Structure 1
Amino acid sequence: MKLNPETLRVHVVPNSPKEGFSRKNLDNKDSLEFGVTDKVYTLYEIFERAVREVPNDNYLGYRPYDPVNKTFLPYVFQTYDQVKKRADNFGSGIMKIAIEQAKTQGQDELKRVLNRQWAVGVYSINRMEWNITDRALSTQSLFSAGLYDTLGESSMEYILNNSEAFVVVCSLDKVHKILINIEKLPNLKAIVSMDSLETVNDGSTQQASYLPPPYNTKSVDILKQWASSKNVRLYDFETVEKIGYIDRIPHHPPKPNDTFTLLYTSGTTGNPKAAILTHRNFSLSSVYASMHRKQYEKNKASMVSFLPLAHVYCRNHENIVMYEKGQIGYFCGDITKIFDDTQAFQPSIFTGVPRLLTRLYNTISEKTVNAPGLLGVVSRKAVSDKINNLKNKKGVHHFFWDKILFNKTKAIISKNLDDLRTGSAPAEEKVCDFLTVTLQTKIINMYGMTETLGSGIGSTKDDTDIEKNAIPFRGTEVRLRDVPEMKYLTTDTPNPRGEILMKGPSTFGGYFKDKEKTDETLVDTYWIATGDIGMINENGTISIIDRKKSLFKLSQGEYISPEKVENVLNTHPLILQSFVSGISTKSHLVAVIVPDPLTFIPWAKKIIESRRNDFDGMSAENCDVESLANNNIIKNLILEEIALLSQRFKLNGFEVVKAIHLEPIPFGVETNGLLTPTFKLKRFDAKSYYKEIIESLYQ
């Protein structure tokens, strides 16, 4: 392929020994480890440096709950120095508890404990204690095994056993779930509750000084007795800090290649795999991301932490904030109140996912471009002007429209917002453009994997469309390899195509106790096979065009990537979730569609009111998703919407869904078990769950 040197936006590694060319970010064409002048290679060093330089700056904050008035109060913070003291004590306390227990089990177990590098489970929603636990474990060269708050019993049991966790730090509501399964957890000897076990719900507003509902003194006493009967030690966070404070165990700092955490990739089939991520992985990723941010942003990094910390995305961003000596505020625990939290905290970074951005797009649209009367007219003109400026490289600000309109929309998240990031799947370009101009900030679409620490390729401040104009992140090298069964070849003209492979200092060290899966994922020792199909553009950028995994064939031999079709369907405002399926003896696709009740019901009501004679007396006022889902007129209208959407996204004819089932119950982690804890569809389970429905759609 001949690249255009005038528009080239990546560095092509010369004499690449493999097909597909190796590509790097232009800023680090000489080395994947570049510009790290402060030589910090562990998160322990990054935190200790922050404490030395800004000991009295706020670091972690939360919103205390007022149980009397049933409201969340303004953020309360702890400084870097305060967090350090708590982390020092907690890390020492964990070691003391482990040493005491090991002494009862013999010299071999005591030696293992003293040698460090063993796991502590962490099981809760995002909160200060999770971060303090991370800081604490680093002081003793221990590592965490993260558990999603939404995990079912079998996954919890698997992770705690696979990681061989001796102790688990969890929120109070998880204690009974662990005790129910304690006979299946032979390694677990201690549970630490993040919530106090000692005080009653007396109306206090301090997070650690009241028992969250439905707990009370009596119920906690029952938990203590239960744990004691199972020979499990039950502590609360504050007690472990006190244990560690008395005759504190000195720090045992980690080395760069020591494990920082095990992150369990929520596989859509089988047990989750534990990606081993080191201090070096995370520290270099933080350095690279911060270097990129500082090219564009004026505010020190700060964020509201709400996406699961058991996932690499939020964990990585918390470390970026720590590297910049910024602030982290934890959400109140209710995702529906996330923008209340951001308005109270005023972060400079907002980490989202495409579905959340689409909801935000719909909310702002209703208040601006879709508003009735003069406001709607003015808003449409303002958005049009700003998008034209955006496309002509004139930036995200407009002196007039921002003053009268968009300063208010920006404040929906934060007046300090200058960095909005989204991952897990590409966000639609029209959504990104709209939010860019209404929030006055560029949106960075990121593509990566747990195994690459969330790093990989992404859009830049100039281009939001990751599917068309992605470049490698700093510290990442990318190449393609042939996928002949899909007819994607690195020799394709004019654009090479193939599976995306990535490597760099941020890439993982393999799967914990799973050499077979490690060997499957790592190509030529260091390259990670992503399972996604990329294409090289004339300017060297990379477009994501398909998905290798989960492919199936239709009767005429066409390969179908269901994720590709689902990503298109899920951009429609009427659709909350979708599951696309097919049978090899049939020539077309079918789908299970979960309507979004926030948009679907108002849309359906308007149709019923305008076509009353067609709906056999169905009342627009009393309709719900379940009754509408069984209506053939509604189904056919949704199919028409899907056809138009497929045309707009230029899907091939065989990729267009021809029959649908409207499902009133959303796919869930616990409700029907069709989602992983990271909200990815369990395709194998969904196919079994909807087997009869899929067959009926072909009749």
Structure 2
Amino acid sequence: MATTKAVTNMAVASVGTGSVVLVFAVTLRVVGALGKVPGDAAWVWALMAWVAAMVVPLLAYDGFSQHREVSDADIVVSLALATLMGVATWFATLGDELVLPGEAWLKTQLSKQTVLQSVAVDSDARTETTTFPRRHKGFEGELMQTHPDCGPKCRTARAVLDRAQMLFARNKLCATRTVNPDGTYGPYVSRTYGEFLGDMRLCAQKLGHGKRRLERIGLFAKNCEEYAVAMLGALHAGVVVVPLYATLGSQAIRHIVRHAELSTVCVSEENLELVLRLKSTASAEPTNEATRCECLERVYVFKDRTIPETSPKHVNRGPRHFLGVDILPFEVLLREEDEAEDDNGEELKGTESTDGYTERHVDENDLSFILYTSGTTGDPKGVMLTQGGIIACASALCTTVVVREDDVHLSYLPLAHAFEIAVILAGIIRGASVGWYHGNVKELIEDAAALRPTLFIGVPRVFQRVQQVVQQQLQLKPLPIRRLCFHALRQQMRSTRKGHRLYLWDALVFRQVKAALGGRVRLMCSGSAPLAPSVMEFVRVCFDVPLVEGYGLTETHGVCSAMYGGVGGKFDQTVGHVGPPLACSEYKLESVPDLGYTIKDPEGPRGEVLVRGPNIFRGYYKNEELTKEVLVDNWFHTGDIGRFNPNGTLTIIDRKKNMFKLSQGEYVAAEKLEILLQSVPVVGQIFVYGNSYESVLVAIVVPDPQELLPRLRRGAVPEIPVSALPVLSKDLETWLGPYHELCSDAKFGPLINQYVLQEITTACEIEELAKFEYPRAIYIESRLNELLQGFSETNGMLTPTFKTKRNKIYEAYQDKIDGLYTSLKKMR
């Protein structure tokens, strides 16, 4: 009985002394959270609690145990309770905010890289205002025109496709997700190279046949198998592909059809009505004889695979006539029947037999695509790409960013864009496979989980969204788990900076994060626009895979520079650059003294990026004047400002057109500033503007509500009561409206504005920006779509690759911007 009492006393003493440390530690944590006492040493407090709970009772043992010797039971109880108190103290003192290591370390790593990735080549291309051209190390001789495995004659899409059919006939080429009768999505079903390319050849024969041989064909649909069959079939037949996409708007689509003189368009069911309106004078739009697309004669309609076969939502895909347009199901291009008839028994054009078909000659100089770029300003312009250019680009891409035969790529970036086309062809060169997303980007994670890709290609906005979603999911976890995850993220980031990972945290936390994309992703790649270093590091840490960044434009067939993605077994793990030039490209810099950039800058050569090589476009379709402006002596002037780094890589600083001068003469790089400020957690999207007659910047900010609202709920703005805050849920309709009302409220709106502006200002201070680079006033845009975007494709403020259309945003918010400047003047 005495022994039991002694053990009980020991337990009480352990818990008591441990609790003292626990309470004291939590008190300091609260004080520290208010900024009075810094510290993030939870393990120190845990150790102190353990020592207090273990040692103090033993030292004071004589006071309550009648001088009895310490028994094994005493030690076991004390050890167990001390450990329990230590763990409790550790959890209690962990931070409840996700504070990651600073970015200063990231910026120093690039300057420490001394192994050259590109080399300067002697050339007569150097002048007083330009640097020597640089080429990929190991490819200083001739620029790559085809992949080494393909042979020197494999310089056209036809040659690449024919080779793939011979070598990879039994490999899986593409996969489409099935649709169940109830409308839900099932597993992916694959087709082999032999099956797919068999359809592609039939399509090529129909499109390139005899008297009805096409010169150009339009494609208007989301990524799907039929789109790929038509695109590759056209390339094989030597027919020029002209992609269309809905976010261009009906006026731009009408312009493209007329400008490219398209007689034939392959279209999805959902876009059929829009295409037919191009011939109609009865539509709601101001169509007249001058703008009607009289050239349009034939429309092939893809079956919508996103809805069940028996669904009444399917449209009439023909055969039928409409205002002189023959409408046919796309399947007629995949069979050898001689003709098709409409409902009245009349023969429809474009369905002749393939008997006697002879392939037209195709070489690397022939056009392959006319890609109309929406761009960020002005009307769409047609970029002429060549057969040799797309193969050179795809070959060099899968050499630097190594693609393997067993790789699987999830295709969701529009096939109307050169980069995705290059990725698809790179996979075909290597015998890899592709799976098509089912058409809804919001459900991309579900597609990834079903397909289990090994390659994940995205644009900066996608990876920013990935970061936001991961952080938001962590915020929804119960308090102890949330704190544990935040701690794991901090520790893992510190460890990866030292060159290793902590496998405990991989097993407990990051394995589940990686599983969100199927669990097999081995490489990620970002393109289209610069990716913030903090976002790149975050994604690398969470998914435990290399994330490399590339650079290119439509005019370079999608890509001309990329970080090492497996070349020689090396993956570039630094940040802040886009790697060396691809093996098919060389680039140099040209001084832009008016903007303060010269090739003699002390911090490294800086200037406009000029690119040359077989992957440079032919010119702008029917626009010789604009072609001459950007193509000078075979060098393409990109309009991007870049810097050469000591290791031969390229960093994109900004675009020439995105630079503006303030009233006191300072130049501001808008895109560079926006990329930096988008890494502020509460900022979802941002548009920075500077008036040349003003001395300060203003900004339009779209906060991230899934980051902002939890902060407000935790008291970030004490004046806003919790009862006034909407509750986040998966049902967006329940809180998007109240969120907009909250931000627009006369009392609470200014407080939210002030808080977001302070967060932005703090980020500017941490990054040590010049004072004139601080936005001094902001307007909060809280009207969001289902993707939580204020700037979107739908409202015309984003391109399909999520680049901001600066002129459109300025036009939409001009009154707000003027109001910001007016309010600033009143405050002076």
Match of 1:237 among 322, 330, 346: 330
Q: Which residue of 2 aligns with 1:566?
A: 674
In 2, Cα distance between the equivalents of 1:374 and 1:209? 44
1:480 Cα shift? Answer: 0.5
In 2, Cα distance between the equivalents of 1:469 and 1:43? 27
Match of 1:548 among 647, 653, 656: 656
In 2, Cα distance between the equivalents of 1:366 and 1:168? 43
Q: Which residue of 2 aligns with 1:431?
A: 535
* Structure 1 unaligned regions, length at least 5: 101-112, 197-205
Whose radius of gyration is greater, 1 or 2? Answer: 2
Match of 1:121 among 211, 218, 221: 218
In 2, Cα distance between the equivalents of 1:170 and 1:45? 27
- Would you say 1:354 and 2:472 are equivalent positions? no
Secondary structure at the counterpart of residue 328 of structure 2: strand
Matched residue type, 1:414: G
Match of 2:295 among 187, 199, 207: 187
1:144 Cα shift? Answer: 0.7
- Would you say 1:448 and 2:571 are equivalent positions? no
- Would you say 1:336 and 2:442 are equivalent positions? yes
Moved more, 542-551 or 618-627: 618-627
Secondary structure at the counterpart of residue 73 of structure 1: strand
Moved more, 77-86 or 404-413: 404-413
- Could you say if the C-alpha distance between residues 71 and 355 of structure 1 is closer, same or farther in structure 2, counting changes exceeding 3 Å? same
Contact in 1 for aligned 2:561/2:578 (Cα 8 Å): no
1:301 Cα shift? Answer: 2.7
Contact in 1 for aligned 2:206/2:354 (Cα 8 Å): no
In 2, Cα distance between the equivalents of 1:422 and 1:351? 6
- Would you say 1:45 and 2:159 are equivalent positions? yes
- Would you say 1:170 and 2:267 are equivalent positions? yes
- Would you say 1:661 and 2:760 are equivalent positions? no
Contact in 1 for aligned 2:401/2:563 (Cα 8 Å): no
Pairs within 5 Å for 1:452-601: 452-461=556-565, 462-464=571-573, 467-468=576-577, 470-524=579-633, 526-601=634-709
In 2, Cα distance between the equivalents of 1:147 and 1:192? 14
Matched residue type, 1:409: V
Contact in 1 for aligned 2:534/2:679 (Cα 8 Å): no
In 1, Cα distance between the equivalents of 2:495 and 2:716? 41
Contact in 2 for aligned 1:138/1:254 (Cα 8 Å): no
Match of 1:303 among 393, 403, 409: 409
Match of 2:769 among 634, 651, 656: 651
1:237 Cα shift? Answer: 0.8
Secondary structure at the counterpart of residue 390 of structure 1: helix
Matched residue type, 2:739: D
In 2, Cα distance between the equivalents of 1:36 and 1:573? 45
- Could you say if the C-alpha distance between residues 93 and 456 of structure 1 is closer, same or farther in structure 2, counting changes exceeding 3 Å? closer
In 1, Cα distance between the equivalents of 2:450 and 2:753? 42
1:303 Cα shift? Answer: 0.7
Matched residue type, 1:14: D
What is the CA deviation profile of residues 24-73 of structure 1, one whole-angstrom value per residue up to 9, with x for unaligned ones?
Answer: 1112112212762522211211111111112122211111212x322111
Secondary structure at the counterpart of residue 657 of structure 2: coil
In 2, Cα distance between the equivalents of 1:382 and 1:238? 53
- Would you say 1:75 and 2:188 are equivalent positions? yes
Q: Which residue of 2 aligns with 1:624?
A: 739
What is the CA deviation profile of residues 504-563 of structure 1, one whole-angstrom value per residue up to 9, with x for unaligned ones?
Answer: 221211111111111111132x21112121222333332222321133221111122322
Pairs within 5 Å for 1:13-412: 13-15=121-123, 16-18=125-127, 19-33=130-144, 36-37=148-149, 38-39=151-152, 40-66=154-180, 68-95=181-208, 99=211, 113=213, 118-182=215-279, 184-195=292-303, 210=309, 214-215=313-314, 220=316, 228-243=321-336, 246-248=353-355, 249-252=357-360, 254-294=362-402, 300-366=406-472, 371-372=477-478, 375-376=481-482, 378-380=484-486, 382-394=488-500, 399-412=503-516
In 2, Cα distance between the equivalents of 1:566 and 1:494? 22
In 1, Cα distance between the equivalents of 2:463 and 2:358? 46
Matched residue type, 2:201: D
Matched residue type, 1:320: A
Moved more, 361-370 or 407-416: 361-370
Matched residue type, 1:682: K
- Could you say if the C-alpha distance between residues 334 and 6 of structure 1 is closer, same or farther in structure 2, counting changes exceeding 3 Å? closer
Structure with the larger RCO, 1 or 2 (CA within 8 Å, 6+ apart) = 1
In 1, Cα distance between the equivalents of 2:769 and 2:296? 51
* Structure 2 unaligned regions, length at least 5: 1-110, 281-291, 339-352, 566-570, 728-734, 784-788, 823-828
Secondary structure at the counterpart of residue 190 of structure 2: strand
Moved more, 302-311 or 433-442: 433-442
What is the CA deviation profile of residues 246-265 of structure 1, one whole-angstrom value per residue up to 9, with x for unaligned ones?
Answer: 44423335211211211111
1:4 Cα shift? Answer: 10
Secondary structure at the counterpart of residue 63 of structure 1: strand
Contact in 2 for aligned 1:361/1:434 (Cα 8 Å): yes
1:661 Cα shift? Answer: 0.9
What is the CA deviation profile of residues 428-464 of structure 1, one whole-angstrom value per residue up to 9, with x for unaligned ones?
Answer: 2222222213212110111111111222233335545
In 1, Cα distance between the equivalents of 2:683 and 2:112? 40
Percent identity over paired residues? 27
- Could you say if the C-alpha distance between residues 11 and 47 of structure 1 is closer, same or farther in structure 2, counting changes exceeding 3 Å? same
- Would you say 1:419 and 2:532 are equivalent positions? no
Root-mean-square deviation over aligned CA pairs = 2.8
Contact in 2 for aligned 1:533/1:547 (Cα 8 Å): yes
Secondary structure at the counterpart of residue 641 of structure 1: helix
Contact in 1 for aligned 2:203/2:230 (Cα 8 Å): yes
Matched residue type, 1:471: P
Q: Which residue of 1 aligns with 2:83?
A: none
Matched residue type, 1:424: S
In 2, Cα distance between the equivalents of 1:642 and 1:4? 30
In 2, Cα distance between the equivalents of 1:574 and 1:211? 45
Matched residue type, 1:508: F
Q: Which residue of 2 aligns with 1:107?
A: none
Matched residue type, 2:132: F
In 2, Cα distance between the equivalents of 1:388 and 1:459? 23
In 1, Cα distance between the equivalents of 2:239 and 2:762? 54
Matched residue type, 1:77: S
In 1, Cα distance between the equivalents of 2:692 and 2:515? 51
- Could you say if the C-alpha distance between residues 381 and 229 of structure 1 is closer, same or farther in structure 2, counting changes exceeding 3 Å? closer
- Could you say if the C-alpha distance between residues 5 and 583 of structure 1 is closer, same or farther in structure 2, counting changes exceeding 3 Å? closer
Q: Normalization by structure 1: what TM-score? A: 0.87
Contact in 1 for aligned 2:405/2:431 (Cα 8 Å): no
Match of 2:799 among 663, 670, 676: 676
- Could you say if the C-alpha distance between residues 645 and 463 of structure 1 is closer, same or farther in structure 2, counting changes exceeding 3 Å? farther
